Structure 1
Amino acid sequence: MKGGILRCRIKSVSATLILWAVIAILLLMYYGSAVTKDWNSSELSYSKLDSQESQRDIREPTQARSSEVRRIVYIRIPKTGSSTMTMLVWRFAWARNLSVLAVNPKFEGTRDRLTHKMFFLPPPGQKYDVMAEHVLYNKESFSNYLAEDAVYVTMLREPFSLLYSTLYYVPAFQKTITEVNKIEAYLKNPAKYDNTAIMAGRSYTKNPQSSFLGLRRRDFDNEGKIQELISSIDRDFPVVLILERLDESLILLRRVLKWPMKDIIYSVENVNSAKPKLKITPEHREKYKKWSLADHKLYNFFKKKLEESIEEAGPELQEELAVFRKYKMDIARYCRFQTIMDEDMLFTESPYNERFSITRKDCSLIYVEPLVLISNIRKRQHAYPFLSPSL
C-alpha cells in the first residue's frame, strides 16, 4: 500500500516537472520570437556578426578613434546625476585603457580639494588622462596631476530639485530633520541646518553647486563674485550639462568630444526612489531662491545657454536626438534579453554614427555598479609599477 502511494507521488511530481518544463520552453519561444519580430520591424538593422566581421574591431571606427577627445575631467557635483555621467567617463577610459585619477577609497566622499595624499601619483613625467571624482574644482591644483589639454565638463541640476534630493538622501538630514516634510521644516530655518553634514567647510544645502565649482563660502551672497564664477566656468568648460535635459546635453557634449554614439549610451545610476511626494508651493521655491542665490544664477545661466545651443542646432539635433533615444531603448531591451538571443547586436551606419555592435560585454559595462568598475580600473592601473602611458 505504501509503495503504491509512493509511486503515485513520484508520478505526480514527474508530471508537475514536465508541465513546468513545457511552460518554460513556451515562454522562451514566445519571448524569443517577440524580440526577433520587434528587431526585424525596427528601422535599424540588427544581425549576428558573421565570422569575418567578428575578426575586425568595428566598435570603434578608426576615424572616430583618431579624432576623439580622450582627456576629460568631469567635476562631479553630488546629487546632480553625477553617478550616471561618471559611469560614461569611466567606461570610455576603461575601453581605451586610459589612465584614470581614482581617489583612494578612504578619501571617497570627503569632497575636499585635490591633494597628492588622495591617490596614487602617476609615474615621473606623466599625468592622468581622466578624472571623475567628488573633489572641489581648482584648475591650478588639477593641472599638477591631469593632462593640460584635458576638456573640463560638469553637470548642473535645478537647485530646488537638488535640495529635495539632498534632504532625503544625506544621512545627516535623516537624523536632524525628523519631520516627514523635510523641505518645509528646512525652509522654516535654513541657517539652522546650514552646517549639517558640512563638506570641506561648505554647505550641502546652500549653493552646493557653486561651492564645488570654486565659490567661497564668504562670497555666497556677493553678486560680483557670483558673476565672476559664472564667467570663469563659461570660459573653461566648453559644455555644461543640465540634468533636466540630459539627452540633449550629451548630444552637444558628443559633438565637442567627437565621441562615437555608442559611448554616450547610459543607464541611470543611484536614483533615490524613496522620496515622498510633497506639496511644493511657489513660496517655498522663492524662499530657497533667496537663500541659495548663487546656485540659481549659475543654473539659470547655463540652462539658458544650453537651450540656445539646442535651438541654434535646429532640426538636425532633434533628428540625432531621436536616433540616440532609439538606440538607447533598443540597447536596454537587448541587454535585458541577451540570455535568450545569444547574438551580438549590430547598428547600421546613420548620418550620426558609423556602424557599431553591442555585445554581452558591453551590456556588463553599461549596467555594472560604479564601485565595481572603478575598483577594476584601480586594479588594472596599479597592478604594475607604472601606469600605462597615455594613448
Structure 2
Amino acid sequence: MMRHHCSNRCFFKFLLVTVVGSMVILLSRVYLRSPLDFENGLYEFISVSNQSTIKAQRVATQQQEMLREITKSTSLRPMPSHINDKSAAQPTSISKGNVREEKTLNRTNMNSSYPNTTLSESTSTTTFVPLVEPPDCVGEFPVRCFVLTKIEKTGSSTLFAIFARYVRSHRLNILMQTKFVHIDWRRPKGRAWDIGPGRVTRADVLINHARYNKSMIDQYVRKGYKYVVIAREPVSWFKSAAKYYDFLFGKQTPQQILYNNRTLYAPRSEASGIATWFHLHQLQWLGFNYHRDKDNMTAIRQHIDWVVPKIDVVMLNEQYDASLIILRRRFGWSYTDIFYSKYIITNSKVTQLSVNATKKLLSPEVNLGEKILYDRLNETWWSQSELEEDNFWEEVDHFSSLNSDVSARLCQQVFSSKREVTISSSQWHEALNLTFDTCHNLLKLKYIPMMEDLGSYALGNRYKYHERFS
C-alpha cells in the first residue's frame, strides 16, 4: 500500500514538472522576441504587471519583425537644409519598408557641430520613423547631388577633400561606409554602409572609394545626380601606385614590379570590388568585370564604350586646375568651394621606366586596356566646349595663382589674426571671404581625421575608420 501511494505521489510530481515546463516553453515562444532570450524575457514577463505595456511591447516587436530594414540611430541630428526647409519641394512619397528605430536620450548633445541639437532621455519608448523619399535633383542648380568614382592614385583624395568640405558646409546626405575607406556593395545597407545624417532613402552624394555599380547607385542616390570621374595617364599612374604601395611588396621599384608576375597580378581583398593592385586598376574602379573579361580586349572596349558616355564631368590628373574650373562652372559653385591643398602626394617623376618596360606595361597582356580607357577620356576632355570659350585658360591661370596664394599667405593671415580675409573680386568671381573654418579644413585637417570627421557627421559613432570587414 505504501509503495502504491509513493508511486502515485511521484507520478503527480512528474506530471506537475512536465506541465510547468511545457507552460514555460510555450510562454517563451509567445512572449519572447527570440527563444535565445529566454532568461531575460521570462524575467521581463514576470516582473511587468502592466498588461497594456506588455501588449504594446508585443505589437512593437511584431512590427519590427515585419520591417525589411531597420537602421539604428544612436544620436539625433538636424535634417539637411533641403529637408528642413519648409519652402523646399515636398517629398514625393514615404517609404513604408525603410524604418529607423530611434531610442532617445535625455541630455544635451555636446557635439559642437550640432550646438542646437538636444536629446531627451526619459523614456525607453521605441518609435519608428519612416525614411523620407527625397525629391529628384534633375535640373538642380547649384548642383548638390553628385557621385565620384574615387580611383586610387589619380588625385582623387584631394578631390574627395573638396567634396567632403562641400558636403559638410551644405549639410548634404552622404552614402558612407561604416568601416575603413571602401564601400563593399556585397554587404547590406545598414551594416557595411548607410546614408546619413538625414533619415532618407537616397543620398545626395557618394564620394568615398566605391567601385562603380550603376544599379546600386541609381537605387540609393537621388535621381538626376551628376557623375564625376578623375583619371590618370597609365604610365604615370603605374609609377605612382608602385611607389605608394611598395611597402606591401618589399620595396620593389616599378620596373621590378612590372617584371615580377607575382606582384604585377597580386590579388587584393575584394571588399572594395577591386581584384588586383596594378592590373587594369582604373578600369576595375569603373565597374569592369575583371575575373570574366580581363583577357578579352573586345569586352574591354565595349565596357569603355558603355561607361564613358555616362560621365557628366571628366577630370584629368594632368589638367587638374582646368578640370576644377569646368566642374565649378557646371556645378555653379564658388571659388571657395574648390580651393584645395594636395593630399597623399607621390612623385612619380623620380622613377623612370625603360622603353622596353613601357612597351610591356602598355601591351595587351598587361595594361593596354588602361591606355584605351585614358585615350577615350582624354579625347572627351579636350572636346569640351568650355575650352573654346574666351579667357578660359586665363581663368585657369588666375585660379592656380590664387589657390597657391590662399594656402601660402592668406590662410596664414586668417590663422594669425583669427579674422576673415576678403579676396577682391575679379572678372571671374565676386569678392570672396576666407573664414577660419575654410582655412582649417583646407590646411590643418589631415586625411584620416577628415575621413573620421565625415563619418561622424554622417553616421555618428557607427563609423569606425580603424576597423575593417574580415
> Structure 2 length normalisation: TM-score?
0.61
The letter of the residue matching 1:190 is N
Query: What number of residue pairs does the alignment pair up?
Result: 314
User: Which of structures 1 and 2 has the larger relative contact order (alpha carbons within 8 angstroms, sep 6+)?
Assistant: 1
Q: Does 1:297 align with 2:372?
A: yes
Larger radius of gyration: 2
Separation (CA, whole Å) in 1 of partners of 2:280 and 2:288: 9
- Structure 2: distance between partners of 1:113 and 1:244: 33
Aligned twin of 1:38: none
Query: How many Å apart are 1:110 and its aligned residue?
Result: 6.7
Deviation at 1:190, TM superposition (A): 3.3
The 1-side partners of 2:455 and 2:368 are apart by 39
Could you say which residue in structure 1 is the equivalent of 2:237? 162
Alignment deviations for residues 308-362 of structure 1 (CA, whole Å, 9 cap, x no partner): 3378424421121122112202211212343444542212333322222002211
The correspondence for 1:213, drawn from 286, 290, 303, is 286
Equivalence for 1:372: 449
Cα shift at 1:377: 3.1
Aligned 8 A contact 1:154 1:240 in 2: yes
- Structure 1: unaligned runs, 5 residues or longer: 1-65, 386-391
Uncovered stretches (5+) of structure 2, i.e. residues with no partner: 1-139, 463-470
**Identity of paired residues, percent?**
22
Structure-2 separation of matches of 1:233 and 1:142: 14
Q: How does 1:228-377 map to 2 (within 5 A)?
A: 228-272=302-346, 277-290=350-363, 291-309=366-384, 312-332=387-407, 333-367=409-443, 368-377=445-454
Deviating more after overlay: 125-134 vs 337-346: 337-346
Distance 2:460 2:308 in 1: 39
> Please, what is the CA RMSD of the aligned residues?
2.7
Name the amino acid aligned to 1:91.
Answer: R
- Give the strand-richer structure, 1 or 2: 2
Q: Residues 89-120 of structure 1, C-alpha deviation per residue, up to 9 Å, x if partnerless?
A: 110111101111121124x3476657423223
Alignment of 1:1-391 (within 5 A): 67-106=141-180, 108-109=181-182, 115-116=188-189, 117-121=191-195, 126-170=201-245, 173-179=246-252, 182-190=253-261, 193-199=264-270, 200=273, 202-217=275-290, 218-272=292-346, 277-290=350-363, 291-309=366-384, 312-332=387-407, 333-367=409-443, 368-382=445-459
List per-residue Cα deviations over 1:4-48 (Å, max 9, x = no partner): xxxxxxxxxxxxxxxxxxxxxxxxxxxxxxxxxxxxxxxxxxxxx
CA distance in 2, matches of 1:336, 1:130: 31
Change (3 A) 1:383 1:76: closer
In 2, Cα distance between equivalents of 1:363 and 1:169: 28
Residues 225-284 of structure 1, C-alpha deviations (whole Å, 9 max, x = no match)? 2222222232211111111110111111112212112211111001136x7933422222
Q: 1:184: Cα distance to partner?
A: 2.0
State how far apart, in whole Å, the 2-side matches of 1:233 and 1:250 are.
21
Deviation sequence 1:44-97 (CA, Å, 0-9, x none): xxxxxxxxxxxxxxxxxxxxxx83100011111111111100011110111101
User: 1:221 touches 1:293 (CA, 8 Å); kept in 2?
Assistant: no
Q: Does the C-alpha gap of structure 1 residues 114 and 150 become closer, same or farther in structure 2, counting only changes over 3 Å?
A: farther
The answer to whether the Cα contact below 8 Å between 1:242 and 1:303 also exists between their aligned partners in 2 is yes
The 1-side partners of 2:307 and 2:460 are apart by 36
